[in-house]
Amino acid sequence: MKLASGRLAKGMLVFALLLLLVPSLAHAYLDPGTGSYVMQLLIGSLLGGLFALGMFWRRVKASIERIFRRGSSGDVSR
């Protein structure tokens, strides 16, 4: 019984993969403006992410500098 169910599972997997690999007709049209829009979205997302990462890094760097500045100013004796 195990052999038959294993064969069935493998057969279903092969069938599912074949369905994914065989192209089907798509009655759709993507004009050149769509590609341009997608590029704008990708570039905007990348630049926005870099900006957010830079702002986060500045805050982390400033807080670390404050910690070390406090520690060094307390050690100086007058």
Domain boundaries, the chain: 31-78
DSSP one-letter string for the chain: -HHHHHHHHHHHHHHHHHHHHS---------HHHHHHHHHHHHHHHHHHHHHHHHHHHHHHHHHHHHHHHHHHHH---
Burial 16-41 (b: 16+ CB within 10 A, else e): eeeeeeeeeeeeeeeeeeeeeeeeee
Residue 31 has pLDDT above 50, yes or no: yes
Q: What is the pLDDT of residues 41-68, one digit of tens each?
A: 999 999 999 999 999 999 999 999 998 8
- Predicted local distance difference test score (pLDDT) of residue 73: 57
